[in-house]
Amino acid sequence: MRLSSRAAGLAESQTLRLWSEVARLRAAGEKVVSLLEGEPDLPVAEPVLAAVQGALKSGATRYSQSAGLPELRAAIAKKLLEENGVPAAPEDVLVTNGAKQALYTALQALVGPGDEVLVPGPCWVTFPEAVNLAGAEPVLVPTKRGRPEPEAFARMLNARTRAIVLNSPNNPTGAVYTKEELEAIMELAGRRGLWIVSDEAYERLTYDGRAHVSPASLGPKAAERTVTVQTFSKSFSMTGFRVGYLAGPRAVVDAASRIQGHLTGNVCTFAQHGGLAALSLPAEDRETRRAAYEKRRDLAYGLGAGLFDCLEPQGGLFLWADARRHLKGDVPDTNALAKRFLERGKVAVLPGSACGAEGFLRISFSASEADIREGFARMERSL
């Protein structure tokens, strides 16, 4: 059977593949601890559930405007301006099926065959494949202990470079980029006429008093070249709702909206009502969630530092652990190490090769504190 070259060349998401393996083991009765996916486990806020139930009862079960419910686009534009300093009118916002589809659609709108897209590495598994799906070529730019370095970006630039994908707070390194780091990248992007696609899925999860800086907030010129991608998934535990959004220059949002019109039409109408309710939650909800993950970060970093060389996560939901000291004999790489952890210890983590960096493991701390403790104990016993 002949598949398209696009489909044949696409790598499966390693996270989803391992996740299926965890599901298979669990179905077979194994008690697996998963520190694999970045999926917040705190409950969805009651007003969000009530809004969805209310929307269902009042008949919000039909197609709705492809670009998103007008009242949700308006609430997102307000949030972007007030919380992130990103200038956006409701028409500059496109509601998407999660950040994942926002990213896909933005790249479809901005790049194509012959173009190169710079991505700081290590990176989230989906970035290179979303670039590939647009027909362009992903180019990983090395970072130093998770920090982006303008010289490294400059070295990778050529006449084909069209865009840079940024992700702060970062999956997998936990780095939260500073204003100065972002300004240096933006300066380069301005000089070379590059788009910035900024994935801010973990924007509300920053630790030790760090502030999240949206690249599009760095001034009018920055806003003109940046597409901001955010989501309800991580900030509000709404992963299954599949509601995210992008915002950016009107022409880009219009193009992305046309693509979405043919791709999916609207995002689930009643789920969007949940998003609307989430944006009206009181500030305590935000702080309670952030603080819970900061506590888990402390726990995971404390336990992880005993087994690996770890970067202290500044934000997000992952610990990036250098596991090279454990790679020897019949465990030559982190694929083998992750396999050993799953087979011997029934604990799942992601090998760093999935993020473009062999020798490391990505360990999620979005699980419960009990699971984090048990997960590290199992890893230690399996070594």
Ligand X SMILES: Cc1ncc(COP(=O)(O)O)c(C=O)c1O
Residues that bind ligand X (CB under 6 A): 38, 98-100, 124, 167, 171, 199, 201, 231, 233, 239, 244
Least separation in angstroms between CB 230 and ligand X = 8
Least separation in angstroms between CB 236 and ligand X = 11
Distances (CA, A) of 123 to 140, 226, 303: 8, 19, 23
CB 227 within 8 A of CB 252: yes
Least separation in angstroms between CB 34 and ligand X = 14
Q: Which is nearer to ligand X, 75 or 267 (CB)?
A: 267
Q: Which is nearer to ligand X, 239 or 269 (CB)?
A: 239
Least separation in angstroms between CB 240 and ligand X = 9
Look up tokens 């609207």; give the residue.
Answer: 266
Distance from first CA to last CA of the chain, Å, rounded? 43
Q: Which is nearer to ligand X, 161 or 237 (CB)?
A: 237
Least separation in angstroms between CB 372 and ligand X = 18
Q: Which is nearer to ligand X, 157 or 263 (CB)?
A: 263
How many C-beta neighbours within 10 Å does residue 69 have?
A: 20
Q: Where are the alpha helices (DSSP H) in the chain?
A: 5-8, 14-27, 46-57, 70-84, 98-110, 126-133, 150-156, 179-192, 220-224, 250-263, 269-278, 283-305, 334-340, 369-382
How many C-beta neighbours within 10 Å does residue 235 have?
A: 22
Closest-CA residue to 48 (of 383, 273, 291, 367): 273
Q: What is the number of the residue whose Cβ is closest to ligand X? A: 98
Contacts for 108 with CB less than 8 Å, ≥ 6 apart: 133, 134, 256, 259
Least separation in angstroms between CB 138 and ligand X = 15
Least separation in angstroms between CB 238 and ligand X = 8
CB 122 within 8 A of CB 320: yes
Q: Which is nearer to ligand X, 231 or 266 (CB)?
A: 231
Q: Which is nearer to ligand X, 98 or 274 (CB)?
A: 98
Structure tokens at 252: 């880009």
Kindly tell me the burial class for residue 147, based on how many C-beta atoms sit within 10 Å of its own C-beta (0-12, 13-18, 19 or more).
middle
How far, in Å, CA of 191 to CA of 187, rounded?
6
Q: Which is nearer to ligand X, 246 or 310 (CB)?
A: 246
